Amino acid sequence: MTSMNKLPEKAQPTTLEMGHLRRAEDLPQFHTVLEMWPAGKARAFNRERIAVLKMEGGMIAVVASKAVNLSPEWFHILDRLRRDGKSPRMFFTAEPIVFEILEYHVSATHEDAATRAVSGIDLIIAESKPLNYFADMVGRTIEIGASDAHLEVRGEYALLNARVGGVMRRIGNYPAQIVIDAVSAAFTVQAEELSRSDAAFNARLPQQAMIPIRNKDKDYTLRYQSHPSVGGFDVVLRILHSSASSSGRVKSLPELGYLPSQVEQLDLAMQSAWGGVFVAGVTGSGKTTTLNTMLSMMAVGGERKIISIEDPVEYIVPGVTHLSVQRTNAVGGENPFLNAMRAFLRLDPDIGMFGEVRDQLSGEIAQAAIETGHKIFTTVHATSALGIVSRLTSKMVGLDRHAVCNPEFLSILVYQALLPKNCPHCKMPAKQHLPAAELADYETLFGLDIDRIMCASDDGCPHCRIPGVDYSSVVHAGTSGVCVAAEVITPDSGLLRLLLAGRDLDARDHYHATRVASFSAPDMQGKAAWGHALYSVAQGQIDPYYFKSTFGHPKGFRQIVQKEMP
């Protein structure tokens, strides 16, 4: 925070804190708003504002707008506080938004919070401030390039975090009541009508919705998911670019981080006339981004009809017909997702992309599309490329192994994760940052040259530090962007026979036995996603810290590596 003008001598306490508050989260934690000046209706549109706060620990703070700071009114309030035995030790100037939030905090103390959060819909519609607060909070995460915004409401305060470059970063905190009202307004008023799981916000229920939002002349859609937790509730907002703001160039597979041996396999799979391209990974691992990169390659020339069915559409790919369909719990003909997937087969497509195969409905339609000669691209939630087969044949999806385990059904299996990349400007040799014993594991188990391993700096640098992120308790902060760590498997007949027989562990050993290159070489044949990540570690691109946080300790792969040895 920037320093204020120096106080006159008579106002100088022995120890004080000063600064300028630009946003609500810049406020130090306070217990009570003791008073607001001017009082009553006189302050409604007044830019000359003064607030007196009782801070945690009983300390008194005075917050003033720039227009009234150090004015006679300001000194009058200080003198009165001292006569009452209250000696302020903290002095701030503040932007108008700070006073709006302090004002809102005052009004919130006079009403029942739970009632206002759940049933105060008329108030929310009449009062636009909660929606402005929601737009401000989400706007902060959009502006720093976040993929997700996380609100964690606990007690009197709420934390705003954001996932940036695959890593969770602290943005700030707000009074809980402001966040409750902001979220309630966004869910109840702003969300798309048919997307809401309930008619109105309720912090005691898990809820879902799609919320359109505009930030700096660009349109976005927020995939809203909330859930009650001990002491409060969490809201996670996936930030999706709408069509008007998603027209940028699609990254190529190498730009995403796929290596030449993997790109060659993916190219062959895309050129085949049938079969499924299945991409697995955890939530937020970039699966849809990879699929849309492949779809954009397939759409070049416009010679094939390509249809995608997604819930919702995350990226607009030129040359692709996108059907955005909201999944519901309805059954039979009332389910719009079922109707869209059935209509797909009647729209004369050559290639289809289904957002996710996750249940018997989507599994059956995907199987029908593949078996009728269509090329299908889709995602699956699985923990490895070979795990896709287990997922497709599980009770949740319910496909028969005889149908799945043949080369006409499985064109290629992909699993990917995203890891933060070291900032090239401030990364440092791992020998200067990690214990020798920890580095020895990478050398003895995987044969990596530890002199080439690099770590992200703890503090980052001007090239990688993101304005608006709280780095006070962050380690390994010096990262910039993300890259893929993937396993790409084109099933051979031996692998398919093992999978058909249910010998999944033997199938994994069979695949790993095909490795011919060292872990420091770019050939990814026979390597799992962690092997791809090891290559990035060996090139100094990935910090071993993020390798461990994503895949586990290097010693956990000892048995696999030993089995591969002759």
- The pLDDT, as a whole number, for residue 100 is 74
Report DSSP letters for 231-252, one per residue. TEEEEEEEEEE-GGG--SPPPP
Helix or strand (DSSP H, E) at 528: none
- The pLDDT, as a whole number, for residue 22 is 77
pLDDT at 488 over 80: yes
Helix or strand (DSSP H, E) at 225: strand 218-229
Q: Is the peptide bond before 312 cis (omega within 30 degrees of 0)?
A: yes
Q: Are 385 and 283 in contact (CB under 8 A)?
A: no
Mean pLDDT across the chain:
84
Mean pLDDT of the region 223-244: 87
Spell out the residues 6+ positions from residue 143 whose beta carbon is closer than 8 angstroms to its own: 215, 216, 468
- Work out the end-to-end distance of the chain between its first and last CA atoms, rounded to an integer number of angstroms: 62
pLDDT at 326 over 60: yes
pLDDT above 90 covers what percent of the chain? 44
Confidence of residue 335 (pLDDT cuts 50, 70, 90): low
**CA atoms in the 13 A half-sphere facing the CB of 310:** 23
pLDDT 10s digits, 15-60 = 456 788 877 667 777 777 888 888 765 555 567 888 888 887 778 8
Separation CA 19–CA 2 (nearest Å): 5
Which DSSP letter does residue 190 get?
I
pLDDT at 216 over 90: no
Tokens of 233: 């509730």
Q: Are 60 and 31 in contact (CB under 8 A)?
A: no
Which of 96-110, 117-131, 207-221, 476-490 tops mean pLDDT? 476-490
Q: Are 504 and 448 in contact (CB under 8 A)?
A: no
**Which residues pair with residue 470 across a beta bridge?**
170
Q: Are 217 and 242 in contact (CB under 8 A)?
A: no
pLDDT at 203 over 70: yes
Write the CA distances from 145 to 39, 136, 160, 164, 478, integer angstroms: 41, 15, 15, 6, 16
Separation CA 215–CA 236 (nearest Å): 18
pTM exceeding the 0.85 threshold for the entire prediction: no
Q: Are 206 and 216 in contact (CB under 8 A)?
A: no
Span of 58-72, 120-134, 275-289, 443-457 with lowest mean pLDDT: 120-134
Separation CA 505–CA 483 (nearest Å): 28
Pick the more confident residue, 4 or 400.
Answer: 400
pLDDT 10s digits, 284-296 = 888 988 998 999 9
Pick the more confident residue, 123 or 296.
Answer: 296
Confidence of residue 123 (pLDDT cuts 50, 70, 90): very low
Q: Are 176 and 153 in contact (CB under 8 A)?
A: yes
- The pLDDT, as a whole number, for residue 248 is 59
pLDDT at 124 over 70: no
Mean pLDDT of the region 462-486: 90
Q: Are 454 and 480 in contact (CB under 8 A)?
A: no
Pairing between β-strand 50-55 and β-strand 30-37 as defined by DSSP bridges: antiparallel
